[in-house]
A = this chain, B = another copy of it.
Amino acid sequence: MNKPTTFTIKDIARNLGVSISTVSRALKDHPDISSETKLLIKAYAEQVNYRPNVLALSLRRQKSNTIGLIIPAIVHHFFSSVISGIEDLAYKEGYNLIICQSNENQHREAINLQTLIDHRVDGILVSLSKTTQGFDHFREAIDNGIPLVFFDRVCEELESDKVITDDFEGGRIATNHLISRGCKNIIHLAAPQHLMIGKKRRDGYCEALKSHNLEVREDRILKCDTPEEVQTLRNHILNLAPDIDGIFAVNDSTAIAAIQILQKNDYKIPEDIAVMGYGDGPNATIIYPELTTVIQKGYEMGRESVKLLLQRLNNPAADIHYQTKSFKPALKIRQSA
């Protein structure tokens, strides 16, 4: 057995000052790469006696019957519901699941992806980290022919299968519910706006206000999507409190943290200020008053993501159009609003 060469595609990329993806695609005659670039890269690869790691390639062609999953934060109940849905279907279909956590960090997400590729998973499910604003690291999977399915936190820039909740609709029905209970001055505790879920839920909030002739005020939209940020913005929220009668928080844990600081300052929920969450995790029924929120079907989204992935794994040669499956959100009305 020949020892594989130690000169890698990464070395070529570094030495030529181009991206790994460019080298990889040039060596595979990808049409996106100009002929000039291809010739240059191939000549250099020949000069340094580069050849693909045949050992790895030989193994890659074998199916590993493993699906990889990259999630931003294991601690969120929503993601553990998604994982249950993924596992139930994957194991039933004879696939194992290995999970990596990006910890809301784009760099870690890229390492996760490389780890899963190195470990020869058959396909990868991804929910983007909050800090991810570039998507080049997903190119290597795509270039290697490993199917990707994005769920919940997806990006518009990459063509792939996607599973989402209709977050615009979720923001709209949550805000409409507050308005229907008589709220006229509603603040929104929002997720980062480069995340589609952040943008869509906010857009839904704005749409609901407009459709009821209520003013959309930028000073009533706070970037605040964790209990820690609620603590940081404590004084700001308490300064706004006398003038507001409703809060729509982008997730349950933020809504709960807001309820707690308001109650400690003698506001009655929902009499003084009604509060809506988003997600319907188990904490929603631990807080008093129990949280009115938007149901997100994590388990079903997990199953659907696996379904889309299996379609590609079972028909590797088929040219299937990329699909986006969208789940309808629903209200779960309890006592907080």
Residues on A facing B (Cβ under 8 Å): 1-2, 54-55, 58-59, 64, 66, 74-75, 77, 79-80, 83-84, 87, 91, 96-101, 103, 108, 111-112, 115-116, 118-120, 227, 253, 256, 260, 282-283, 285-288
| Complexed CA–CA distance, A178 and B111 (Å) | 48
Residue of B nearest to A59 (CB): B55
User: Dominant SS at the A interface?
Assistant: helix
Bound complex: CA A227 to CA B59 (Å): 45
The reply to whether A58 and B1 contact each other, CB–CB distance below 8 Å, is yes
Specify which chain B residues have a CB less than 8 angstroms from the CB of A256 in the assembled complex.
286
By Cβ-Cβ distance, the 6 closest A-B pairs, closest first, are: A75-B80, A96-B115, A99-B99, A119-B119, A98-B98, A286-B286
| Residue of B with least CB distance to A107 | B91
For the A-B complex with A66-B118, A84-B103, A119-B119 known, give 8 more contacts whose Cβ atoms are closer than 8 Å: A66-B115, A74-B83, A74-B99, A91-B108, A96-B115, A98-B98, A227-B282, A282-B283
Q: How far is the CA of A98 from the CA of B97 in the complex (A)?
A: 10
Residue in A66, A108, A115 with the greatest tally of chain B CB atoms within 10 Å? A115
- Residues from chain B with a CB closer than 8 A to the CB of A1 are 1-2, 54-55, 58
A66 touches B101 (CB 8 A): no
Q: Are B87 and A80 closer than 8 Å at their CB atoms?
A: no
Distance A83 CA – B74 CA, assembled complex (angstroms): 9
Alpha-carbon separation in the docked complex, A59 to B84 (Å): 32
Q: Which residues of B contact A84 (CB under 8 A)?
A: 103
A17 CA to B29 CA in the complex, in Å? 52
Q: For residue A81, which residue of chain B has the nearest CB?
A: B75
Query: Contact: B99 with A98, CB < 8 Å?
Result: yes
Q: How far is the CA of A77 from the CA of B96 in the complex (A)?
A: 23
Minimum CB distance partner of A114 in chain B? B96
Residues of B within 8 A of A288 (CB): 288
CB neighbours of A55 from chain B (8 A): 1, 55, 58-59
How far apart sit A115 and B99, CA to CA, in the bound complex (Å)? 12
Question: What are 20 A-B contacts with C-beta separation under 8 Å?
Answer: A1-B55, A55-B58, A55-B59, A74-B74, A74-B80, A74-B99, A91-B108, A96-B112, A96-B115, A97-B101, A98-B98, A98-B115, A99-B100, A99-B101, A256-B286, A260-B286, A282-B283, A283-B283, A283-B286, A288-B288
| Cross-chain contact of A100 among B79, B96, B283 (Cβ < 8 A) | B96
Q: Bound complex: CA of A115 vs CA of B122, how far in Å? A: 13
Q: Which residues of B contact A2 (CB under 8 A)?
A: 1
